[in-house]
Amino acid sequence: MECEFPSVNANKQEIKEIFDSVKTIAVLGLSPDESKDSHKVAKYLQEQGYKIVPVYPKEETILGEKVYRSLLEIPFDVDMVDIFRKPAALDSIADACIKKGNVKVFWSQKGIVNNAAAQKAENAGMKVVQNFCSMVEHRCL
């Protein structure tokens, strides 16, 4: 699926600014399974010094962090959501980000594109990255 929405994907400077400015990353769909991409990416970002907040329907802890069932259950601010969910889920995730009111970056992983949700997030003032792996982009910096 192609990104029709003009996100910051093509602008490496903006991606660098994102990683320089965020401290807390909610990873939606963070699997406890170490072989899954969501786990590998979150572990890498955690090792780089970011506070990882797992959002997953099961488990109590993942990567040593308390697991929340939804973004709106997190009782503190998150700077970025890193999304490992099906594209159809991005509409409700964008709504949750807007309702939470403090999310600065809406990032959907490689292969995950929902242009309407991306537009909604941008209209609410978030930086948007679609169809890019946060681990790969961070390593490139």
- Sorted by where each begins, the domain ranges of the chain are 10-140
pLDDT band at 52 (very low <50, low <70, confident <90, very high): very high
Question: Which amino acid is present at 99?
Answer: K
pTM of the model: 0.94
Superfamily of domain 10-140: NAD(P)-binding Rossmann-like Domain (3.40.50.720)
Q: Is the pLDDT of residue 94 over 80?
A: yes
pLDDT at 7: 59
Q: Is the pLDDT of residue 3 over 50?
A: no
pLDDT band at 1 (very low <50, low <70, confident <90, very high): very low
Q: Is the pLDDT of residue 5 over 60?
A: no
Name the residue with higher pLDDT: 141 or 81.
Answer: 81
Instruction: Give per-residue burial for 13-35: e unless 16+ CB within 10 Å, then b.
Output: eebeebbeebebbbbbbbbbeee
Residues 109 and 41: beta-carbon distance below 8 Å: yes
